[in-house]
Amino acid sequence: MTGRAWFTTAMLLSAAIGGGWLVGVAARARTAVAVVPVAAPDDPDVTQAAGVRIDGPRVGSARTGDTNWEGGAVPVLRIFGDYECGACQALDVEAGDSLRALAAAGRLTLIYHHRPLRTHTRGSVAAAVAYCGAAAGRAGAVHVALQRSVQVWSSSDDPLEPMLAAAARAGAPADSVAECLSQNRMADRVAADRRLAAALNVVAVPTVFLDGSRLEFRSFAALLAHVADRAAKPGAPGAGPPT
């Protein structure tokens, strides 16, 4: 091999190695997750805001008797979102099914808190419908139905009609949901979610809390990997819901 050929080969190898290093750095940056501890709010009205429990064991419960389970408190994932928020929809598309599967398997308690942006007036209505769906025993199904039909009801002159239709397809009868909405009690729960968001300084959505910490993530894949790892190790230090 000539000197020029050796030089060319060396440069190509150097570029490949350097490029690989840059790709690795970029990948690590995209998958970084920062865990930021938060203090529990003092307002009892705020601390009692339960959100919509999509699935999973009750908060504070533990699972035993499973040989694949290390024991300890089941982690609690709280997502603050808005059904009209594009980033919230992207989170559900990329990670929602996997998070719900972890919850259905009893390895995660998944709770959705509604934090509709003030410019998203229909998001508040959808949040109340979601609470009514939970009251009908169809929390997860109605949540998913509202997420998947957002393009329909967000562009409708009467958004409530397609929302009720989505709830009905998810197993929550439209008439019972409409009756629930007429009592305004679910609007109060949405307001409680707003107070909890304010107490936790949630100014943008989606914002995610795992047990007593806020998760800052660079990609939804990174978030899912972090939560899945934590769900596999419930006995880890700091496990359990905030008090």
Q: What is the pLDDT of residues 160-197, one digit of tens each?
A: 999 999 999 999 999 999 999 998 888 888 888 888 88
Burial class from Cβ neighbours inside 10 Å (0-12, 13-18, 19+) for residue 104 reads: middle
Residue 115: Cβ within 10 Å count: 27
202-229 as b/e, with b when 16 or more CB fall inside 10 Å? beebbbbbbbbebbebebbebbbbbbbe
Three-state secondary structure call for residue 177 = helix
- The CATH T-level fold of domain 34-231 is Glutaredoxin (3.40.30)
pTM above 0.85, yes or no: no
- How confident is the model over 68-85, as pLDDT tens digits? 334 457 898 999 999 999
* Maximum C-alpha span of the chain: 86
Spatial strand order in the sheet of 76-81:
33-37, 213-217, 207-210, 76-81, 109-114, 52-55
Burial class from Cβ neighbours inside 10 Å (0-12, 13-18, 19+) for residue 83 reads: buried
Contact assessment for residue 228 and residue 108, using Cβ atoms and an 8 Å cutoff: no
Domain residue extents for the chain: 1-30, 34-231
